[in-house]
Amino acid sequence: MKETNKPHCTSVLGSITGAECLAVAATIAASTVVHADPVRFENDAGFFWGFSTLDLTKSSADQTYGAPTGTSIYLNYFGDYYFGQYYRFGYVHYYTSGNGAEIWNSGFSNRYAAPHNQGDLIGPDLTDGVWNQSSTLDFTYYGAHVYYYNYQYYYDYFGGHRGLLPNDGSPTYIGVRLTIDNALHYGWIGVTESSGGYFDVFAWGYETDPGVAIQAGSIPAPGPMGMLAIGAAGLLKRKKRAS
């Protein structure tokens, strides 16, 4: 009796059996049943978030200056310096404003933006704070008391930092709530801050599914094609061992 060939399929992965096809199909199906689909953008185009809007749904190369929207946040920067005979005083103040996306902050009158660590969940279950379009990211001050003694001026320097975000250069994340097509989405902005109060944004991201929490600094999982490649690679590896 002539042996009937087993079902098989041919693809860029080569010829595999029907059972292997089913396994790959199951892998693809499993990868599509996902309740979270985060997007992450790296600041690889040198975007500077100061006197400008940051749109969490766009790459750094696609950022454009304009009024804040439901997906973007305007960051204002203000500093001043006072000079007197017996004192010196200056400060740097970063704060968000406008009718744009909202930042999770302390909820007090100063509205300091609350810090998040990588992996923290940002979503509807956050507590001990509020969502607000206007938030203070940092207030750094510096100065000196000046006194004159024995024909010489002396300076007693001082300075400090007010805010919840660390200003030692370590990375931290700001929680953001966006509005897309009248639905609430959640996102994050990754920043580092120097002791002088200057900000650097290194990445940002958001969750494409409305109402779903996102991990701060999250990196998207492989999509269906990526899962296909992973699953198929495992199948081909097992096939090679068996042969």
SS (H, E, C) the chain: CCCCCCCEEEECCEEEEHHHHHHHHHHHHHHHCCCCCEEEEECCCCCCCCCEEEECCCCHHHCCCCCCCCCEEEEEEEEEEEECCCEEEEEEEEEEECCCCEEEECCCCCCEECEECCCCEECCCCCCCEEECCCEEEEEEEEEEEEEECCEEEEEEEEEEECCCCCCCCCEEEEEEEEECCEEEEEEEEEEECCCCCEEEEEEEEECCCCCCEECCCCCCCCHHHHHHHHHHHHHHHHHHHC
Answer yes or no: are the C-beta atoms of 94 and 103 closer than 8 Å.
no
Q: Which of 3-12, 23-32, 61-70, 142-151 has the lowest mean pLDDT?
A: 3-12
Residue 111 has pLDDT above 70, yes or no: yes
* pLDDT at residue 232 tops 80: no
The confidence band for 10, taking pLDDT boundaries of 50, 70 and 90, is very low
Residue type, 2: K
* Average pLDDT of the chain, as a whole number: 82
Q: What local confidence, expressed as pLDDT, does residue 198 receive?
A: 75
**What span, in angstroms and rounded, lies between the C-alpha atoms of 141 and 93?**
9
* 92 Cβ contact partners less than 8 Å away, ≥ 6 residues apart: 77, 78, 79, 138, 139, 140, 141, 196, 197, 198
pTM: 0.75
pLDDT for the residue numbered 20? 56
Please report, as a single letter, which amino acid is at residue 138: D
**pLDDT of residue 178 exceeding 70:** yes
pLDDT for 29: 47
pLDDT tens digit sequence for 86-108:
889 999 899 998 899 999 999 98
Neighbours of 239 (CB within 10 A): 13
In sequence order, the 6+-apart residues with CB closer than 8 A to the CB of 150 are none
Quick check: 238 pLDDT over 90? no
**Section 35-39 average pLDDT:** 81
What value does the mean pLDDT take over residues 212-232? 69
Q: Residue 149 pLDDT more than 50?
A: yes
Band (19; pLDDT cuts 50, 70, 90): low
The answer on pLDDT for 116 being more than 90 is yes
Averaged pLDDT, 62-67: 92
Q: How confident is the model at residue 7 (pLDDT cuts 50, 70, 90)?
A: very low
Q: Give the rounded percent of residues in the chain with a pLDDT score beyond 70.
A: 75
